[in-house]
Amino acid sequence: MVRENIKEYTVTEISATIKETLEDNFGYVKVRGEVSGLSKPASGHVYLNLKDENAIIKAIAWRSTVAKLSFMPDEGLEVICSGRLTTGYSDRYPGRSDYSIIIDSIIPAGEGALMALLEQRKKKLMSEGIFDQDHKKPLPLYPETIGIITSPTGAVIKDIIHRLEDRFPCDIILWPVPVQGDDAAYLIADALNGFNNSLKDSEIKVPDLIIVARGGGSIEDLWAFNEEIVVRAVFASEIPVLSAVGHETDTTLIDFVSDLRAPTPTAAAELCTPNKDELLINLKDLQKDLRDIINSNLENKLSLFKNLSDKLPVSLKLFIKSLLSEFKEITQSLNYRILEEQVNNFQQKLISKFEKLNSSTNLFVENMRNQINYNEKLLESMSYKSVLNRGYSVTKNLKNKVIKSKKDIDHDTNIIIETSFAKISADVKEIKDE
């Protein structure tokens, strides 16, 4: 049956209207299905169909997206594609009125597939050294400003604020983000970079510490915290990052790269702040320590002083006493014994010196005597007497002077002729010149 009152469209008009209706109603979608008809032509774009038991839908990932995909789908694998629903994507058929998903991201669907992907990504990041302990920064002891990246609604931010209020009230800067869904990873990474780089010229204080938090959920719910873009933003953060994602049993990649991992958001608030009440007690203790030390120091010095001043007269007395006794000792020893001993010693020394002198003198005299004897013999051997022995004689006058010339002789006097055997007295009768 043909109805007359229906509006008539051109093909372009109807295509445009369909496009508008479709995009207005869906826009961004997330579709779970099995990959089929996968094609990767040389253009670099990736074409595939998503299907389940009853239906099939086309999906395209442009080359620029393919380069960024964290996961490359395989034929037959169940995946979740996020993207824009549109018609007439093709340049060749601008008005072609079939619809498809322009893929932004693909993740494996199902826990098993996600776990496998998680393992693979973890290994890759680990090999890059992104999880190394030596990249971990210490958390500030007393943070004055804490940045929190989480959902502005929900229990997590309330729990953290409540705990901080109790323990260590400080400035909190909340950077609101969706904690799951397609933009979550991108916006979380953006917030991390923003805290580090965008606040420096603003009136907002750069936090001393960043908490990235989310409540518990399935592995799909927490998936944003496994995305490389988030992990790398944490790694790049100069501000220490404390991660508190999911429950204690959930582990996401952000926990490996963060400087400290808290099992829950409430625990994060506790881990990064001191307890105000304990601090107040500590302060009191420190004050008491100060006072005690100062007091004991003063007491020590005082008792030292007292001790010294008490000792002063006694030690003066003692000093004089000791001087006296020393003096006495000296005078006493001067008296007899030592003096006597010294004299004795001196005497002894004198005697021994004298004896030595004596004996050496005797020796000397003896030596001299021997020498003289010897010389006498020598002299004797060389004297005229030995010549007389050979028949000569010596003539002397009465003055016992050897006659050597005429003037030694007087007329009518005696002369003495000495021979070896006798002395002969003779009268001078005549003196003839020779």
Partner 1 sequence: MTKIPDDIKKLSFEKAMEELSEIVENLESGNIDLEKSIEYYTRGSQLKAHCQQKLDDAVLKLEEIKVLPDGKISKKSK
| Residues at the interface with partner 1 (CB under 8 A) | 140-142, 144, 152, 161, 164-165, 168-176, 190-191, 194, 198-199, 202-204, 276, 279-280, 283, 286-287, 289-291, 293-294, 297-298, 301
Residue nearer to partner 1 on the CB measure, 275 or 425: 275
Residue 366, SS3 per DSSP: helix
CA distance 48 to 38: 4
- Both tokens of 168, joined, read 């260590």
CB of 280 to partner 1, least distance (A): 6
For residue 295, with 0-12 CB atoms within 10 Å meaning exposed, 13-18 middle and 19 or more buried, which class applies? exposed
| DSSP conformation class of 181 | S
Is the Cβ–Cβ distance between 102 and 81 less than 8 Å? no
Q: Quick one: 182 or 221, whose CB is closer to partner 1?
A: 182
- The minimum distance between CB 214 and partner 1, in angstroms, equals 17
Give least dist CB 198 to partner 1, A: 5
> Is 94 or 169 the residue whose CB approaches partner 1 more closely?
169
Could you tell me how many residues make up the chain? 434
User: Distance between CA 107 and CA 226 in Å, rounded?
Assistant: 11
Helix (H, G, I), strand (E, B) or coil at 32: strand
Q: Taking the complex as a whole, how short is the minimal distance between the CB of residue 274 and partner 1, in angstroms? A: 9
Minimum distance between the CB of residue 206 and partner 1, rounded to whole angstroms?
A: 11
The answer to whether 71 and 46 are in contact (CB under 8 A) is no
Sign of CA dihedral 206, 211, 215, 217: positive
Q: How far is the CB of 97 from partner 1 (least distance, A)?
A: 33
Of 307 and 375, which CB lies nearer to partner 1 in the complex structure? 307
Task: Show the CA angle centred on residue 413, arms to residues 407 and 414, nearest 5°.
Answer: 105
What is the C-alpha to C-alpha distance for residues 140 and 108, in angstroms, rounded to an integer?
39
CA dist., res. 175 & res. 202, Å (int):
15
Q: Name the minimum Å distance from CB 338 to partner 1.
A: 50
Q: Which is nearer to partner 1, 80 or 211 (CB)?
A: 211
Residue closer to partner 1, measured from CB, 161 or 417: 161
Which lies closer to partner 1 via its Cβ, residue 297 or residue 347? 297
Read off the tokens for 1: 């049956």
